[in-house]
Structure formats: structure tokens, C-alpha cells
Amino acid sequence: MITAAAYEAALDMLCPMHLIVRPCGRIRHVGPTVQKLCHRGTWVGRNFFDQFVIRRPNMACSIAQIRPLAGRKLHLALRDRPELILKGVLVPLPDRSGGQDAETAEDDCVINLSFGISILNGVRAYRLSNADFAPTDLAVEMLYLIEAKSAAMAASRALNQKLEVAKIAAEEQAFTDTLTGLKNRRAMDHVLARLIAGKKGFAVMQIDLDYFKVVNDSMGHAAGDHVLQAAARVMIDTTREIDTIARVGGDEFTVLLPGITDGAHLTEVGNRIIARLERPIDFDGAACRISASIGSIWVDKGQDAVAEDVLSDADAALYRSKHAGRAQHTLHI
């Protein structure tokens, strides 16, 4: 036969967060860790349901109500700290008198508790230490993991932020227009500056798509994007490898042509581009029709030029094309 004290000592070691409760609800014994949850004095002698609220099964308030749930998971909380959800399990204590009767309604029961997922809040709230958990309890390993994981996550977050900043910086420094694969304005500025400094003669062609807005508005952005990509293809096909084509605005393009020795050639290139752009562009079975207005300027070799002036002269020629009824090329003279 085993004495009550021996029972309790074994339980204190194996499950320090247990209580032994009499059938009437009076607490007969508490494990050492439960003792720590009690602010003042002890819960021994008090009613279990004055200290704990049973969350599931809903608001049970007597041992008789929870006894049938022996072995199943109980959800409960402390009355003075309702935000901290505890898990529990009830086990009726076998009759200690050594009698033959199996469990009777008069048996005491053991209710063992655990912080479950609230473990971190629990150890913080009650300043628990390793000694408050059974040596076999995984609570300490769980706390270790929580701490190690949050440190690792913090390092990952720092790296992600750094990469994000680097990505933005890289995009700002990029030379490519992501939609068409052409060069962008930044790249065009660099190439133009180089051509001006080289003084070997070059031309600048400003191309503005005509009727693009109509396509975009009537057929949608996807069609608009498709047309821009097709137009880019046309410009690549109708110019030389050494020419630089940049998308500098929504439907505005600039072509830089190095080594041009006479202006007449420009009109020929411009007309070729317009003719090709006027071929209907297929998008999902529908034909998108656009054209282009072009303004060009030719800078002869040895000539001093200023990028800003070159571009604005080409723009002026472009506007003359627009005003003269679009779909044509004008050479700035």
C-alpha cells in the first residue's frame, strides 16, 4: 500500500504542475510549480473552481461535470489571469485504501496542467526556472527553440531589408526598360554624352507612336504593352546593331545613330520605321493599328553640340511631323 505522502512526492517530481482535488472541488495538494502560480499563501484548502475557469467544456464548475472527461484535454485559465490559457488533463486517483472497488464518485482526482503554447508568457509571468519543470518535460527545449528561432528570424529580416534596399538601388542604376528590353532614358543620356564627346558625327531620332492611346484605351493595357513590345521589335529590326534604341516615355522612343554622314539617309530610315509600324499588330486575334511621328537631327562630325539642344531640336522636328498630320518623318535643318 502506498501512502498519500509518497503519492504526492512522486507526482511533485513527475508533474510539478498538478493539483489533487477532492470530489467536492476542494484542493487537497498542489505541485511545486502550481504553488508558484499562487500569489499569496496557498491554494490548498480552497475550491479549485474559485482559482480556475474551465474554458472547455464550457464553464464547467464542478468536479462531477469534468470527471467524465478523464484522460481528455481540458482548456482552462486562471481566474486572475484569464489571458493565459492552460491545458489540463484529469485522472481519478485509484482508491488508496487498497479496496477492490474500482473508481467511485468519491475518489480524489489529479489535474495536471501545462502552459501549452502560452509557455513563454507563463514562464515570464511567474518567473519560472528549469527546476520548475520535470527533467523530462520539453518546455525548456521549446523555450530554447523559440529564442533561437526569433534570433534567426531577426537576422533573416535584416538581410531581407538590406537586399530590398540593394534591389531598389540596382533598379535605379539599371539601363534597361523592363517592358521592352530596350535601353532606358538613363542609358540614352550616357550614350548621347559619349557621341557628343566623340565628335564623329551622329544622328538623334525622336519617335512618338501615333494612335497608341486609342489602342491602349479601347483594347486595354495588355494590348498596349504588346504593341509597345512589337514596336520595339520593329525599331530593332529597322536599325543597325550599333544604334541605340531607348524607350524614354510611355510611347516615346529615342534612337541614337552613330557614324551618320548625311541627313538624307535619316529620312530613309525614318520612313522605313513608319512603314513597318503601320503594319497591323496582332493581339489575341484583333489587329492593332498604330503609326509614328518622327523628328530627327543630324550632327556632323567635328561639330560642338549640347545634349539638351540636340534633343530639343529633334523634339521640334517631331512636333512639326505631328502638326503636319502625323505618320511622317521630319529632319531638323
- CB of residue 116 to another protein, shortest distance in Å: 15
How far apart (Å, rounded) are the C-alpha atoms in residues 147 and 38? 27
What DSSP line would sit under 3-72, residue for residue? Answer: -HHHHHHHHHHH-TTEEEE-TTSBEEEE-HHHHHH-SSS--TTSBHHHHEEEEETTT--SHHHHGGGTTS
Residues 6+ apart with CB under 8 A from 305: 196, 299
Smallest distance from another protein to CB 185, Å: 28
Q: Give yes or no for a contact between 295 and 330, defined as CB atoms under 8 angstroms apart.
A: yes
Q: How far is the CB of 137 from another protein (least distance, A)?
A: 12
**Closest distance to another protein from the beta carbon of 108 (Å):** 31
* Pairs from 41-50 (Cβ < 8 Å, separation ≥ 24): 43/19, 48/19, 48/21, 48/111, 49/25, 50/79
Q: For residues 44 and 142, which CB has a smaller minimum distance to another protein in the complex?
A: 142
Partners of 255 in the beta sheet? Answer: 205, 245
Q: Which of 131/242 has CB closer to another protein?
A: 131
Least distance in angstroms from the C-beta of 155 to another protein: 5
Q: Which is nearer to another protein, 1 or 131 (CB)?
A: 131
Applying CB under 8 A, the residues found at the interface with another protein are 120-124, 127-131, 140-141, 143-145, 147-149, 151-152, 155-156, 158-159, 162
